[in-house]
Structure 1
């Protein structure tokens, strides 16, 4: 009954499929526990898929005595899970937050957030290295530093230090800051909307942008100066 766990000389195909499911979910859990930094620059689902497929199909390729039916079935099961989670994440924004890590703000308005560094398991030396790789070695020029879902750190410089700097032109402009997503794939991100106004306020902004409802918008963001960016869906639909 538990041959899939204990192993057997002639393990049935469903045993390989159960093992593939267990290994996939187990590695996913390990990756989530280790944090975003362990992912380097690839997506979590792709990382898991690569590791599991390589392990499942690697041994049969080096040992000809192992039947291929089980490993191939297990690989198909893993690929199916990978595809299912990817499709589900695209269609369910809330579930997407479980699959994909939220960006972590490591530096806000020029202030390093040491608690967030600790949460992301990033040492100060590693943080400075990533800033240098982003051509941002001068900390006084940085407005925001964000740890993205793929493990890389992106930098938003203060407006006065952007390319062809406004500082050289003797112009002072308000900092744009870190843009917040108000609408994603037609769904309102209420937690972000509450930082700027109400749902009614958001719908008013949607109408000002020439849309009838949020479902017509693929992404809508707002920065700290109140500047709104909207990208519509290629195909719109009514409520």
Structure 2
């Protein structure tokens, strides 16, 4: 009856399905416990954690004769160690430098630092490629280029090449802030609407922008400055 947990050489297909469901929920809860991290900014410690966890829990999914309890316990231990290292690094700056790499300055005041390039094992071609991806094709514009701990390169342009902002031109602008989703795929997000107004107010806004019903709207958001964005459902048009 519990062969999906203890393992069996003749484990049925349903047993593998139960195992897959358990492992998926288990990893989901583990990731939620450890906290969110962007896959674009994953650091080496997170990468190692992901590889080890995948190896530990992956084998029982392909080998039905292996028990499931041991691998899940080992995965919990690895997750606990990973969490402990993260907490210690958060509160101990010196220890943080042990598990997290220091940013490396590759270009300082427009000059490429050859020693730092060798230290970071970054070639000229790789540097130029990353700069092009950041829409920097002219090295004369670069003041600093830094290899961050996540392996990505960030750039600080020289002041004369930086974009002019409204503040530079003494232009007053309204605060936009974070947009709140009010309608999504024809459904009112009531919890968000209550933060900015009422359902009646929302219906007025829908009518004001030329839509007969909120069901005609695919996405409607409003930022902190009161600016409303509306994207209609396919085949619908408004005055937005």
TM-score norm. by structure 1 comes to: 0.51
Partner of 1:127: 127
Is 1:98–2:98 an aligned residue pair? yes
Query: 1:8-61, CA deviations, whole angstroms, 9 ceiling, x for partnerless residues?
Result: xxxxxxxxxxxxxxxxxxxxxxxxxxxxxxx98412221111111000000001
Is the Cα contact below 8 Å between 1:40 and 1:151 reproduced in 2? no
Paired residues, number = 129
Partner of 1:53: 53
Q: 2: distance between equivalents of 1:80 and 1:88?
A: 12
Partner of 1:82: 82
Determine helix, strand or coil for the equivalent of 1:144. Answer: strand
Q: 1: distance between equivalents of 2:114 and 2:55?
A: 38
Partner of 2:109: 109
Is the Cα contact below 8 Å between 1:56 and 1:74 reproduced in 2? yes
Aligned structure 1 segments of 4 or more residues deviating by more than 3 angstroms:
none
Unaligned runs of 5+ in 1: 1-38, 170-239
Q: 2: distance between equivalents of 1:118 and 1:87?
A: 32
Q: 1: distance between equivalents of 2:107 and 2:135?
A: 16
Partner of 1:152: 152
Determine helix, strand or coil for the equivalent of 1:143. Answer: strand
Is 1:66–2:56 an aligned residue pair? no
Q: CA deviation at 1:115?
A: 1.1
Q: 2: distance between equivalents of 1:90 and 1:102?
A: 15
Q: CA deviation at 1:74?
A: 0.9
Q: 1: distance between equivalents of 2:44 and 2:86?
A: 11
Query: 1:144-182, CA deviations, whole angstroms, 9 ceiling, x for partnerless residues?
Result: 0000000000000000100128xxx9xxxxxxxxxxxxx
TM-score norm. by structure 2 comes to: 0.51
Q: CA deviation at 1:76?
A: 0.9
Q: 2: distance between equivalents of 1:158 and 1:148?
A: 19
Q: Residues 148-187 of structure 1: matches in 2 within 5 Å?
A: 148-164=148-164
Determine helix, strand or coil for the equivalent of 2:136. Answer: coil
Partner of 2:43: 43
Determine helix, strand or coil for the equivalent of 2:144. Answer: strand
Q: CA deviation at 1:138?
A: 0.4
Q: CA deviation at 1:90?
A: 0.4
Q: CA deviation at 1:105?
A: 0.1
The alignment's C-alpha RMSD in Å is: 2.0
